Structure 1
């Protein structure tokens, strides 16, 4: 199996192979190379993964997923669940990376914060698969928002993901799926994971934003760290 550094380099090479929408202005302002992926942050040995849609401006500057307004809400809730108190500093929030994996459907920032097309998501899917199947050792994935959850549609039975998301208890229930990835020898490997969907914690999500901290705590109470 290739190293995580090799995987990141493979993502970069794919990004340079053919143009796709990237918010180049933000990368240049942050003095970052636009095609260098921000694939993940956190601990690959952690039991839990927070899975978002894609990067925002703050994530590009920090070179970490889930560190803007929405990501901070996630980190605050996770810290509180672990330590039974609220974080007091940015350093406290950063310690979340010791206990969780943070990643997205696409490791780049789209222009205007609009979701990437299906074509772009599929283009980078093999690399996210390899991250989750070969490099991460956990099995609990908390998806953040509809786009993040439905990224897993290919790994369930036909229509299973969409049907699950129509359930009234989708933010309390769990769904087990078999992730698949192809290694460097073109061998297909499967691995069982559990999806625990939550709404996206964006301030723009008026329906769930105020409820999100409580919903996150309920999710985190469902398994051991």
Structure 2
């Protein structure tokens, strides 16, 4: 069993250890075990990670993060930047997964469209730390929305993340942090990363929805150019 499969098995064991809210009918409709995590999609050797809040129905059906409406905006932006041409509805966007890692604060779909509680996020945080520090090889993380950015607050001095996010330039500037984690033997691991926040590309986010493609383009150009 590879290291990443061991990590997935550990997440699965933790999910079975004690119940927490999962949108089980969506998994059952897809013929999937609700306790089996959808931990990541894409390439662990890519320089860039997209970090979103949690999974939706579309993501469960295809077993990939960021596959629904918001994910399509992201994948179209990556395609546009990498291949210098405009995608259309029939464009195969699967090739962008070779260039990014996709993951969420919790590798499960919550009931409805409600964010997971802080207790659930805390419970699965160690596994996300292992993914980002020990398995992924990159150092740039684009967060989508407030909840995704707040997940990284504990790795900065108290109050610094909130102060940064309150700034009017939060979607064009960067926030460097050092992620830390402990493995099963208690050994400490670190990775210095740069957090690049973006708003969530939802039509409900009226203030930034129209701006999202340009903001994303700026972020991607700075990484891939």
Give the TM bin, normalised by the shorter chain: over 0.9
- Aligned equivalents of 1:107 and 1:155: distance in 2? 20
Q: Which runs of 4+ in 1 moved over 4 A?
A: 88-91
1:200-219 correspondence to structure 2 within 5 Å = 200-219=200-219
Structure 1: 5+ residue stretches without partners: none
1:223: how far off?
2.1
Instruction: Give the match for residue 102 of structure 1.
Output: 102
Check the 8 A contact 1:142/1:198 in 2, yes or no. Answer: yes
TM-score by length of 2: 0.97
The answer to whether structure 1 residue 169 and structure 2 residue 163 are counterparts is: no
Instruction: Give the match for residue 181 of structure 1.
Output: 181
1:203: how far off?
2.0
Q: Residues 121 and 210 of structure 1: is their aligned pair in 2 closer, same or farther, counting only changes over 3 Å?
A: same
Check the 8 A contact 1:65/1:103 in 2, yes or no. Answer: yes
Check the 8 A contact 1:65/1:102 in 2, yes or no. Answer: yes
What whole-Å deviation, never above 9, does each CA across 1:154-207 have from its counterpart, x for those lacking one? 101111111100001000000110001111211111110000000001122111
- Aligned equivalents of 1:134 and 1:28: distance in 2? 32
| C-alpha RMSD over aligned residues | 1.2
Instruction: Give the match for residue 122 of structure 1.
Output: 122
- Aligned equivalents of 2:100 and 2:77: distance in 1? 12
Check the 8 A contact 1:8/1:39 in 2, yes or no. Answer: yes
TM-score by length of 1: 0.97
Check the 8 A contact 1:69/1:203 in 2, yes or no. Answer: no
Structure 2: 5+ residue stretches without partners: none
SS at the partner of 1:26? helix
